[in-house]
Amino acid sequence: MVDTATARPQAEAARRGAQIEVRNVSHWFKVPSGVLQVLDGVDLQVAPGEFVALLGPSGCGKSTLLRLVAGLEPATAGEITQDGEPITRPDPSRIVVFQDPTLYPWRTVRDNVALGPQAQGRLKERKARVDDALRLVGLTEFAQAFPHQLSGGMAQRVALARALVNDPQLLVLDEPLGKLDSLTRLQMQSELVSLWQREGFSALLVTHDVEEALFLAQRVIVFSDRPARIAAELKVDLPYPRHRGDPRLTELRHQALRHLGLDASW
Ligand SMILES: Nc1ncnc2c1ncn2[C@@H]1O[C@H](COP(=O)(O)OP(=O)(O)OP(=O)(O)O)[C@@H](O)[C@H]1O
Ligand SMILES: [Mg+2]
């Protein structure tokens, strides 16, 4: 589905990825009963062009960490930098894709994808990139369709194209495939790998799906219960494309489940 025929030269793609450093980050929220500590001394690096996945119990603080990295709010303590510069606000070089594609129902697929360039007043000069992004996610023929005419997987592809059109240096993915049926999900995982390889962005993915994390990422970070601390880090030392039946993936899956406190008896 993903078009790799128009692949960029690898050197150009490799230059694209942001280097992210999360240094000793802790975070608290004010809640009616006082304060709620959500992150506790998190240290995390994403190398340029690296794909890192985050796993952890529900409510431990994963989405909060993504919001801090995206610059949507400041960390209570610690520092987060992109290529050495502190992250203080949202920036088009870092794009977040959520579980819900949140498309504008009154805009066509193409106009949804073109939102970023349009907001920046660069629609004309970015027209080719909009076409390119639609082609990349296999939706050229649906450019004039409206969101209600799409399947869930197609809508999520529009959300990905809308992110790619901005040429992000970091793609922040918060359970982006979480609402898809399992077959579409497997297909979209492979497509995400192709897009990442072609585009060269760095990726930070939160997922509840251990297999998905191991299939996609070069490193998988496992968090503890809230307040989230890094409980383990697994290096996924397998080339792409990966084979789901690879015995090494099964081994790593057992390790990940163990770190999540689940007996790997299944
Ligand atoms: N703006 C906020 N104000 C107060 N508490 C918040 C706020 N945002 C998140 N929290 C709390 O912080 C904790 C962590 O939330 P977060 O969304 O980061 O978890 P998560 O790891 O992404 O969970 P899930 O896997 O279920 O998505 C939760 O207890 C949540 O209630
Ligand atoms: Mg979350």
The pLDDT tens digits of the residues spanning 124-168 come to 999 999 999 999 889 999 999 999 999 999 999 999 999 999 999
Average pLDDT of the chain to the nearest whole number? 92
Q: Quote the ligand 2 centre to 174 CA distance (angstroms).
A: 7
Q: Which residues line ligand 1 (CB under 6 A)?
A: 29, 31, 36, 38, 56, 58-64, 226
Q: Quote the ligand 2 centre to 12 CA distance (angstroms).
A: 32
Distance CA 220, CA 215 (A): 10
Q: What is the pLDDT of residues 2-54, one digit of tens each?
A: 544 444 544 454 458 999 999 999 999 999 999 999 999 999 999 999 999 99
Give the DSSP letter of residue 228. Answer: B
Helix (H) and strand (E) counts in the chain: 9, 10
pTM to 2 decimal places: 0.92
Mutate to test the pocket of ligand 1, among 33, 35, 63 (most ligand atoms within 8 A of CB): 63
252-266: average pLDDT: 85
Please report, for residues 46, 72, 104, 135, 184, the alpha-carbon distance to residue 212 in angstroms, rounded to integers and kept in the order given: 18, 26, 28, 24, 13
- The minimum-distance atom of ligand 1 relative to the CA of 62 is 21
- Per-residue pLDDT band at 179 (split at 50, 70, 90): confident
Q: Which of 10-14, 45-49, 188-192, 241-245 has the lowest mean pLDDT?
A: 10-14
- The minimum-distance atom of ligand 1 relative to the CA of 30 is 4
CA 245 to chain centre: 24
